[in-house]
Amino acid sequence: MRPADLWRHSSFRLALGVTLLVLTTLILAGAIGYGLMRERLAARQDARVTEIFNAIAETSLLDDRIDLIEAVTTRIKASPDRSTAYLLTDGKGEVLAGNIKNVTLPPGWSTLPAAGLGISTGYFYRVFSGSAGRYRLAVGLTDADQEELQTIVLGAFGWAALVAGLATVAAGAILAARVQNRLSRAEAAVALLAHGDLSARLPVSGKGDDLDRISSAINVSLVRLEGYVEAMRQVSADIAHDLRTPLNRLRIKIENAATRRADGLSIEDDLVEAIAESDRINETFSALLRIAQIETGARRSQFTAVDLAALMRTMAEIYADVAADGGHTLYLDVTGSAFVDGDRELLTQTLANLIENSIRHCTPGTQITCAVRGTAERVIASVSDTGPGIPADEREKVLRRLYRLEKSRSTEGTGLGLALVKAVADLHNVDLVLADAGPGLRIDLTFQRSVRA
Ligand SMILES: Nc1ncnc2c1ncn2[C@@H]1O[C@H](COP(=O)(O)OP(=O)(O)OP(=O)(O)O)[C@@H](O)[C@H]1O
Ligand SMILES: [Mg+2]
């Protein structure tokens, strides 16, 4: 990664922000600590000056000039580097003892540069000047200690700031490089996805961090999306394949009509059949679109509490005569009410499709039973018959669009009835089971009982 790229990384900018914060805090803490220490040292320096001054001044109480000079001289000898300055003058301003030049100092405290006292160091002196009996005495101390402390403290904080700054910048750069590495791999995966390779997945490091969690969630969606697209592709291929038969039939009918017309024969019947065939194709398309629309899940927002028991009673009533016409007997096994959350129109269509199938695909003399049973949490709607049933290995397939059992090819229908039932079941999160009714077929739809009713 180029240094210029680093700046574009939020993690690096964050690290720099933290560096600035750390440095500001460090400098502030250093300045406060340094100020406090300096204050303490200055107070100690003043106390030391006062102590020396008083000790010498005490000697003057005996009014012995020689002793006083001796006291100052002894102390001067003890400070050969002139870190302590002394000046003892008499009433006329003549120097009696001292290690600095004779300057007139104001009484009390003053802070003077070393040069002002005739000393060649670059320090400052804290000086107290006052009277010692009949004489004037000035005692001063350098601030060398404070200067040294300032150098140490500033040095220490300077180094600390430098190390902390470098460490956070380095940490930021490493972090940015790591994130960039993972993002680059994610970018590569997204590029593959954008080019239609739905098998590409975002990288997951296994650390379980936030990036991992987002990547895993996206990957789960991608698996689903890949499944949907594959299913869609399969469905489109099946539909295209299955629609070729009716379209071919339509073409043959039109061709027949053309031939008959050329022979001077009536083509009225051919045209009626062609119209019926195109109507069937139209219906198939409408049913396919309807299933696709159900699969979008948009209708879920219109769900209301529907009494499945009442709905089953109504459907059994409607189909009783049709069943009787086909030589079947329709039984109803429903008591009370059983509410579920759903789309009334779609549930009506579902029950109708199941009952119609039993009527259409069973030989006369079949018993058809419409039942609704309930438990504390569930409601099970079943339609069963004593007809030929569906072989176990075909039960999954008949739920597909346009799939019909070989023996049903001659009966009327498009093979979309159960596909719609499946779409409605999925929309309602309903468990759809095709079982052997021994003999015959039983289809169970297991709903969650509605909490609204
Ligand atoms: N009760 C049943 N008994 C035996 N076979 C059945 C029964 N119900 C459905 N089938 C088989 O399953 C196939 C698919 O049923 P589906 O309802 O999807 O289509 P269809 O009834 O043939 O046509 P339509 O689209 O008009 O409903 C049927 O063609 C039939 O072979
Ligand atoms: Mg059907």
Of 385, 398, 409, 432, the one to substitute when testing ligand 1's pocket (max ligand atoms within 8 A of C-beta) is: 398
How do the domains of the chain map onto residue ranges?
Answer: 3-147, 210-295, 301-448
The atom number, within ligand 1, closest to the CA of 357 reads: 8
Tell me the per-residue pLDDT of 93-152, one tens digit each, with 9 for 90 and over: 899 999 999 988 899 999 999 998 998 888 899 999 999 888 999 999 998 877 888 888
The atom number, within ligand 1, closest to the CA of 385 reads: 1
User: 390 CA distance to ligand 1 centroid (A)?
Assistant: 9
CATH number of 3-147: 3.30.450
Q: 210-295: what fold?
A: Helix Hairpins (1.10.287)
Tell me the per-residue pLDDT of 276-288, one tens digit each, with 9 for 90 and over: 999 999 999 899 9
Instruction: Report which DSSP code applies to 438.
Output: S
Residues facing residue 127 across a β-bridge: 110, 140
> Same CATH topology for 210-295 and 301-448?
no
Tell me the per-residue pLDDT of 200-247, one tens digit each, with 9 for 90 and over: 999 998 888 888 999 999 999 999 999 888 888 887 887 888 888 889
Q: How far apart are CA 200 and CA 190, in angstroms?
A: 8
Omega before 246 within 30 of 0, i.e. cis: no
Between the CA of residue 289 and those of 355, 367, 420, 423, what are the distances in Å? 22, 33, 10, 12
In this structure, what token pair is assigned to residue 327? 């030589």
Tell me the per-residue pLDDT of 4-44, one tens digit each, with 9 for 90 and over: 676 777 777 887 888 888 888 888 888 888 888 888 888 99
Protein residue closest via CA to atom 27 of ligand 1: 417
Q: How many alpha carbons lie under 13 Å from residue 17 in its C-beta half-sphere?
A: 7
Give ∠ CA 365-389-378 in degrees, rounded to 5. 105
Instruction: Report which DSSP code applies to 236.
Output: H
The atom number, within ligand 1, closest to the CA of 419 reads: 18
Q: 86 near 75, Cβ under 8 Å? A: yes
User: 333 CA distance to ligand 1 centroid (A)?
Assistant: 23
The atom number, within ligand 1, closest to the CA of 362 reads: 3
Length of the chain counted residue by residue:
453
CATH of 301-448 given 3.40.50.2300, 3.20.20.70, 3.40.50.720, 3.30.565.10 = 3.30.565.10
Q: Ligand 1: residues whose CB is within 6 Å?
A: 353, 357-358, 360-362, 385, 387-390, 398, 404-405, 408, 413-419, 441
Q: How far apart are CA 387 and CA 87, in angstroms?
A: 131
Q: 48 near 59, Cβ under 8 Å? A: no
* 365, pLDDT greater than 90: yes
In this prediction, residues 367-377 reach a mean pLDDT of 95
In this prediction, residues 445-449 reach a mean pLDDT of 97
What b/e readout covers 423-451, taking b as 16+ CB neighbours within 10 angstroms? bbbebbebebebbebeebbbbbbbbebbe
